Amino acid sequence: MRKFFILLSLVGFTFASEGESIFKAKGCNACHKPDQDTPMAPSLKTIQGKYGGDVDAMIAFLKGQKEPIVWPDKAAIMKAQLARLKDLSDDQLRALAEYILGK
């Protein structure tokens, strides 16, 4: 029985995508909610509405190589957050970008 629960928790871990894990580990979810804009930040849904499915554009933004397009008047708040992503590999950045865009 115990082995069964260990197996179950391993499967659960696999189901939380890598991108989602990074999003939470980096504290992005403190400001960004899935569906609801807050005074702090646009929701992932709002961001998806602007980016469509453009993963490469999202990666460029996360690398600090592209101007913000969602709430440009609050860009300074977000720009400060990008420093947290400096240690990510290209694969991790792609996983994060795909999670943000709901892929």
Q: Which residues bind ligand HEC (CB under 6 A)?
A: 26-28, 30-32, 40-42, 47, 61, 68-71, 74-75, 77-78, 81, 84-85, 96, 100
Residue 44 CB-density burial (10 A; 0-12 exposed, 13-18 middle, 19+ buried): buried
Task: Report, in Å, the least distance between residue 84 CB and ligand HEC.
Answer: 5
Task: Report, in Å, the least distance between residue 32 CB and ligand HEC.
Answer: 6
Residues 6+ apart with CB under 8 A from 94: 55, 59
Cβ closer to ligand HEC: 70 or 95? Answer: 70
Q: Note the residue count of the chain.
A: 103
